[in-house]
Amino acid sequence: MSREALQESLSALMDNEADELELRRVLSASDDAQLRSTWARYQVARAVMHKDLLVPNLDIASAVSKALADEAAPVVAPVAAVAGRWRGLGRLAVAASVTLAVLAGVRLYNQDEVMGTQLAQNNVQPTLPMPQVQGAALLAGYTESSEPVSAQQSKASTPSQLNWHEQRLPGYLRQHAQQAAMSTSDGVLPYARAASLENR
């Protein structure tokens, strides 16, 4: 297959206009280093056009591939009769972990934190380690600014720090909201903000 045809397929894929044949063509050639670099360049170009956040050298795909390679072991089942069923389950598990890896990658990608590859590799267990994924977006919790790790991890390592903030922050927030609610004539919005803090 010519490289031009492949690039055309890739371009169509990027524009969301690829048919199934083209998608298969690109995917089957996705081990090709040149194609991968072209793909990455297209992504950068598109991100620039759309003014998206960008971490250019974050190769989630490689991380996912590596994760999949590590995952292959449990698929092998000794009894031939159940092998088919297990293979299906294994696939499901792999699919789940790929989804998770991509989700984790994308989330951090958006947050401009270069933790994506690491997370993509760590989260390959078929069980869903959801707390870890949520931790990155946990707005209500008080996450440490210095380390982009999950809330659970930072809580475990530094209980006293979080306690200092956790003890004081609710009071500060309420003081701020209540003062605003009491001091404006159009107090409806500040009132609603103050009330929403009491509902937690």
Partner 1 sequence: MRGLSYLLLLGGALAQPVSAADAQDWLGRLAEAQQQQSFHGTFVYERNGSFSTHTIWHQASGGAEVRERLLQLDGPVQEVVKVGRRTECVSGGLADQVAEGQSWPARALDTKQLSAWYDLRIIGESRVAGREAVVLAVLPRDQHRYGFELHLDRETGLPLKSLLLNEKGQLLERFQFSTIEMTPPSEADLKPGSSCQPVRFVESKAVDPKAWHSEWMPPGFNLNSAVERHSALSSQPVACLMYGDGLARFSVFLEPLNGATVEDARTQLGPTVAVSKRISTTSGDVMVTVIGEIPLGTAERVALSMRAGDMQAAQ
**Residues near partner 1, by CB under 8 A:** 139-146, 158, 160-161, 164-165, 167-169, 171-189, 191-196, 198-200
Cα angle 90, 21, 86; round to 5: 10
- DSSP helix/strand/coil, 25: helix
- Compare residues 98 and 173 and give the one whose CB is closer to partner 1: 173
Angle between helices 3-14 and 33-50 (to 10 degrees): 30
Q: How far is the CB of 156 from partner 1 (least distance, A)?
A: 15
Nearest-approach distance from CB 197 to partner 1, in angstroms: 8
Smaller CB separation from partner 1, 57 or 145: 145
Residue type at position 78: P
Measured over the CA atoms of residue 31, residue 108, residue 124 and residue 23, the dihedral's sign is: negative
Least distance (Å) from partner 1 to the CB of residue 45?
Answer: 21
d(CA 35, CA 3) in angstroms, rounded, equals 9
Least Cβ distance, residue 181 to partner 1 (angstroms): 7
Closer residue to partner 1, CB minimum distance, 31 or 186? 186
Q: Which is nearer to partner 1, 19 or 113 (CB)?
A: 113
- For the CB of residue 144, give the shortest distance to partner 1 in the complex, in Å: 6
d(CA 72, CA 53): 33
How far, in Å, are 88, 140, 145, 185, 188 from residue 180 at the CA level? 58, 21, 27, 10, 10
Three-state SS for 36-53 is HHHHHHHHHHHHHHHCCC
- Our CB check for partner 1 shows the closer of 2 and 183 to be 183
